[in-house]
Amino acid sequence: MDSAPDRESLPSPIADGFALSGVSAPLDPATQAFRKDLADTALAGRVIASHYAEPLLRHLSLDAPLREAPSLTAEVIASLSAGDAFRMLDCSRGWAWGYAPGGRVGYVEAVSIGA
């Protein structure tokens, strides 16, 4: 027995609103989480990335600066407090990337994120 979905029951990019139809609206990387390798699933119809992720809700266990890039020398774009919510999309190489309170996108040191 074949359990594959019927071709007609599969979502259609055109019917579901993903057809290319001209110039796209520019996204703001300060408030919309996308990189070449990863993007928020909420942006799946608007950006092309190698992978998509659903943000995981975490809370900071330590005060931490939100940085523009994953580096201790990167510009600090906000100061976060212990207990603040952080919607994490990626955690690798000692850095967590995601949304801070207010919707600002950036990096915090992974040790600042609670489980």
Q: How far is it, in rounded angstroms, from Cα 73 to Cα 65?
A: 11
Using alpha carbons, select from 44, 68, 66 the residue that is nearest to residue 54: 44
Residue 28 has pLDDT above 50, yes or no: yes
Q: Where are the domains of the chain?
A: 29-112
pLDDT digits (tens, 9 = 90+) for 75-102: 999 999 999 999 999 999 999 999 999 9
Taking the model in full, what pTM does it have?
A: 0.78
- The confidence band for 7, taking pLDDT boundaries of 50, 70 and 90, is very low
Amino acid at 19: A
| Residue 30, both tokens | 């300060």
Contact 113, 88 (CB under 8 A): yes
**CATH superfamily, domain at 29-112:** SH3 Domains (2.30.30.40)
Could you tell me where the DSSP H helices lie in 1-115? none
d(CA 94, CA 71): 10
Chain centroid, CA 39 distance in Å: 5
